[in-house]
Amino acid sequence: MANINLKDAKRAKNDEFYTMYPDIEKEIAAYVEYNSDVFKDKTILLPCDDPEWSNFTKFFAQNFERLGLKKLISTSYAVDSKTYKYGYQVTMFEEGAPQYDKSKTKTNGKIFTLTHDKFGDGKINIEDLEWSYLEGDGDFKSDEVTKLRDEADIIITNPPFSLFREFLIWIIESGNQFVIIGNKSCITYKEVFPLFKENKMWSGRTEWSGGMWFETKNLDDVDKIINGINMKNVPAIWLTNIDHGRRHKPLPLMTMADNLKFSKHKEINGKKSYDNYDNYNAIEVPFTDAIPCDYYGVIGVPISFLEKYNPDQFEIIGSDYNIKEGQLPELVNPEWIGKIDRGYVGGERLYTRILIKHNKATK
Ligand SMILES: C[S@@+](CC[C@H](N)C(=O)[O-])C[C@H]1O[C@@H](n2cnc3c(N)ncnc32)[C@H](O)[C@@H]1O
């Protein structure tokens, strides 16, 4: 029992983060800047949301006309199904509505939809949202939310991190476009990295450094309070399969000789050459900005490279996980007699590396 509670507590800690409006605004602006029609006539589903106070619902409802949306659907997860109970109280908005049902308020999820100017004031906005209770608790895996997924063109949300793998699989199997938030560590999941490698998913526009600030309802887990709002910093990143301009911006890089002479990194500057791995045939480049522009063999880079990955400039060959799994035998040094699970330099085991090559087209 104690174990279950601990597990639940950890899940809850990871699941109840609420995304800030300016973060959504900045990320979505990048897609619109790249393609002004990206959301035009599209049905957007915001699952795993809490539409009554969600900034996702607020942002897309307020920008419904500007983005040219066809329909906005937002669903929430029932209070009784959440792992973290934070002193829930029914809102005046819900209680005052004719469809309010005391027997459903805690056990059922809710669905909010926006399609037209309900109030006839000449514009479609947040006031025109209509809502009802879902049949079930709003679990994204339920048949009713899956049906909404299949009706939608684009899925956008910050899903529960504890269910990230399941959520991603649920999205990918729909074939929809998506913009979601995940913990940076998800990149190393075996379900996630292949999507990057095959250019089926990439980093969103927002920079990775500094993490993201979320509103937290968990009073035991607050990093700072801003304007009375409890905030938590999380190493979270945006992930998407919708194109944006930063993805096509080439990384400015120096030649190998210039890096060895002028690099700002003491690990590179002043060396005679870049290190080769002991166990496989690639050079070790510990910083993305130290990738030589004139080396056309395989290059091992940190995971943070994926933030800057431009598919016009590089191709991803795999990761050291693929080497360990025997999927890249051509790279393994036949003389190496130690473990091959990670890159080794001078016998020292390095953190996980991604293996890349300059894209032939840019040579
Ligand atoms: C990280 S929070 C983000 C909420 C909102 N999307 C936002 O960014 O402001 C994830 C939400 O998913 C809910 N949730 C947890 N498990 C769920 C499930 N199986 N199906 C749907 N939602 C779930 C959590 O209760 C929480 O409200």
pLDDT, tens digit (0-9, with 9 covering 90-100), for 58-87 = 999 999 999 999 999 999 999 999 887 667
Same domain, 280 and 221: no
Closest atom, ligand 1, to C-alpha of 157: 6
pLDDT of 9 reads 59
Instruction: Determine which residue's CA is closest to atom 13 belonging to ligand 1.
Output: 48
Same domain, 356 and 240: no
Mutate which of 20, 77, 156 for ligand 1 pocket (most atoms within 8 A of beta carbon): 77
Instruction: For residue 243, report the distance from its CA to the centre of ligand 1, in Å.
Output: 25
Assess contact for 101 and 133: CB atoms under 8 A: yes
Same domain, 43 and 179: yes
Instruction: Determine which residue's CA is closest to atom 15 belonging to ligand 1.
Output: 160
Same domain, 243 and 133: yes
Closest atom, ligand 1, to C-alpha of 14: 1
Residues of the domain holding 99: 2-247
pLDDT of 85 reads 66
Same domain, 61 and 204: yes
pLDDT of 321 reads 86
Work out how many domains the chain is built from and give that number: 2
Instruction: For residue 39, report the distance from its CA to the centre of ligand 1, in Å.
Output: 23
Instruction: Determine which residue's CA is closest to atom 16 belonging to ligand 1.
Output: 160
| Ligand 1 cavity residues, CB under 6 Å | 15-19, 48-50, 54-56, 77, 82, 138-140, 157-160, 163
Residue where a domain stops, chosen among 228, 247, 266: 247
Same domain, 99 and 187: yes
Instruction: Determine which residue's CA is closest to atom 18 belonging to ligand 1.
Output: 139
Closest atom, ligand 1, to C-alpha of 139: 20
Instruction: For residue 287, report the distance from its CA to the centre of ligand 1, in Å.
Output: 35
Instruction: For residue 26, report the distance from its CA to the centre of ligand 1, in Å.
Output: 21
Q: Is the pLDDT of residue 1 over 50?
A: no
Q: Is the pLDDT of residue 2 over 50?
A: no
Instruction: Determine which residue's CA is closest to atom 5 belonging to ligand 1.
Output: 49
Instruction: For residue 46, report the distance from its CA to the centre of ligand 1, in Å.
Output: 10
Residue where a domain stops, chosen among 247, 267, 291: 247
Instruction: For residue 158, report the distance from its CA to the centre of ligand 1, in Å.
Output: 7
Same domain, 216 and 265: no
Instruction: For residue 108, report the distance from its CA to the centre of ligand 1, in Å.
Output: 14
Same domain, 145 and 177: yes
**Rounded mean pLDDT, 5-11:** 61
Closest atom, ligand 1, to C-alpha of 55: 9
Between residues 7 and 286, the one the model is more confident about: 286
**Rounded mean pLDDT, 90-101:** 91
Q: Is the pLDDT of residue 8 over 90?
A: no
Same domain, 335 and 355: yes
**Per-residue pLDDT tens for 222-257?**
999 999 999 999 999 999 999 999 999 999 999 999
CATH assignment of the domain containing 173: 3.40.50
**Per-residue pLDDT tens for 266-285?**
999 999 999 999 999 999 99
Same domain, 144 and 13: yes
SS (H, E, C) the chain: CHHHHHHHHHHHHHHCEEECHHHHHHHHHHHHHHCCCCCCCCEEEEEEECCCCCHHHHHHHHCHHHHCCCEEEEEECCHHHCCCCCCCCCCHHHHCCCCCCCCCCCCCCEEEEECCCCCCCCCCCHHHCEEEECCCCCCCCCHHHHHHHHHCCEEEECCCHHHHHHHHHHHHCCCCEEEEEEEHHHHHCCCCHHHHHCCCCEECCCCCCCCEEEEECCCCCCCEEECCEEEEEECEEEEECCCCHHHHCCCCCCCHHHHHHHCCCCCCCCCCCCCECCCECCEECCCHHHCCCCCCCCEEECCCHHHHCCCCCEEEEEEHHHHHCCCCHHHECCCCCCCCCCCEECCEECCCCEEEEECHHHC
Q: What does pLDDT average to over the chain?
A: 92
Across 71-85, 307-321, 333-347, which has the greatest mean pLDDT?
A: 307-321
Residue where a domain stops, chosen among 202, 220, 247: 247
Same domain, 240 and 143: yes
Instruction: Determine which residue's CA is closest to atom 20 belonging to ligand 1.
Output: 139
Same domain, 236 and 293: no
Instruction: For residue 97, report the distance from its CA to the centre of ligand 1, in Å.
Output: 24
